[in-house]
Amino acid sequence: MFVIYSMTETTNNEMSEGMYLDAMNQLKELNEKREKENEKNKEELMQLKKELITCYGIVRLLDNLNENNPLDDSPVEVKIVIETLRDYLSQFVELNILSSGE
């Protein structure tokens, strides 16, 4: 646990050089820990975006196969689910991935 000294803890309301350095080192360690967590979260977010884009591509392929095969005996419900999923993923990818700038 990090303890940051306050000025009221000293007898004359002045922080000694050692206390100041100790506090700054603790802040530095805390900042480095947060930066590592932030970098890890960015990498995980990028991986999730890649996975979602891959899923979107597969659904688009299914939709194209469905449209281009008039002799297909697939039930109408399956075709509707594919189209609905493609529309939903298309909107989601456009709003949350392509427009995010990352």
20-56 residues labelled b (16+ CB within 10 A) or e (exposed): eeebeeeeeeeeeeeeeeeeeeeeeeeeebeeeeeeb
Residue 25 is part of which domain span?
7-98
Residue 9 has pLDDT above 70, yes or no: no
Structure token digits, residue 26: 């603790």
Q: Structurally, how many domains does the chain consist of? A: 1
Q: Virtual CA dihedral for 7, 12, 17, 21, nearest 10 degrees?
A: -20
pLDDT in tens, 42-61: 999 999 989 999 999 999 88
DSSP 84-102: HHHHHHHHHHIIIIITS--
- Is 56 a domain residue? yes
Angle between helices 76-93 and 17-67 (to 10 degrees): 150
Tokens at 36, concatenated: 């590592």
Question: pTM value?
Answer: 0.64
| Residue 59, domain member (yes or no) | yes
Reply yes or no on whether the pLDDT at 71 is more than 80.
Answer: no
Average pLDDT score over residue span 82-91: 90
| 1 occurs within a structural domain | no
Whether the predicted pLDDT of 8 surpasses 80: no
Interval 13-46: pLDDT, tens: 567 888 889 999 999 999 999 999 999 999 999 9
